[in-house]
A = this chain, B = another copy of it.
């Protein structure tokens, strides 16, 4: 596997770039950093690769749990190009960072998976809240986590059970955004029109109702404190399928590294439903 690249590349050139240029930079090894804010206005996606033996059950899990697992594109075993959402792409090289898990343990983090790619690997692109954040931003909804230097959102393990599928089962992972009371209805309406970015909230209000004892104790990310007049609003999170797949005992799984997403050619606004 390729060694991590020095971070000398100026990613600011990619903010308004075409997605294919972001993917090319990752492929060259120039872009070894998170994709948040790059190729503005385009859908970014979580990557999950499982062996073919797990593909039907994992796809069934996605179909049964569309909020955490909105399907962007799924390849057939061994296929490497997302022809529908990113013509010319290569799943083995076009993300700036990958993680490799074996038997539920993180065993490697790398910038290319060409050397470990096999013909029985099945690649899933699933919707991601990077697209969601950009949509809220355009509509003037404050985004607390983007005010912090590291831009990390609050992520929690909820007690909401996903619908199981075969060997895949577990609870929903959620993100929490502090939303001003006056924007709660609007953010619910807006997000419901973007099922590709996790759709409408799964809960609004008291964290205890979904099994979160203390908002300040995040399971992933960083705590974004509520200010006066703000309500915590929770959405399904794309970490869910990874957490569930890892807990299921899948012998091998490859994902994007956190924040190092696959940037598709899809324009977010065109993904809006009626």
Contacts and interface: CB of A to CB of B under 8 A. Distances in A.
A214 B222 CA distance: 64
A274 B59 contact: no
A245 to B, nearest CB: 16
B63 A59 contact: yes
Nearest to A74: B60
Contacts of A55: 56
A109 to B, nearest CB: 28
A52 interface: yes
Nearest to A165: B76
Contacts of A92: none
Contacts of A274: 192-193, 273-274
Contact of A60 (B76, B163, B165, B192): B76
A265 interface: no
A163 B52 CA distance: 20
A21 interface: no
Interface in A180-203: 192-193
Contacts of A165: 76
Contacts of A57: 76
Interface centre among A55, A122, A165 (most CB of B within 10 A): A55
Interface in A130-173: 163, 165-166
A85 B80 CA distance: 36
Interface of A: 52, 55-57, 59-60, 63, 71, 74, 76, 84, 122, 163, 165-166, 192-193, 273-274
14 contacts: A52-B56, A55-B56, A56-B56, A56-B59, A57-B76, A60-B76, A63-B63, A63-B71, A63-B74, A76-B165, A76-B166, A193-B274, A273-B273, A274-B274
Q: Would you list the 4 A-B pairs with minimal beta carbon distance, nearest first?
A: A56-B56, A55-B56, A59-B59, A76-B166
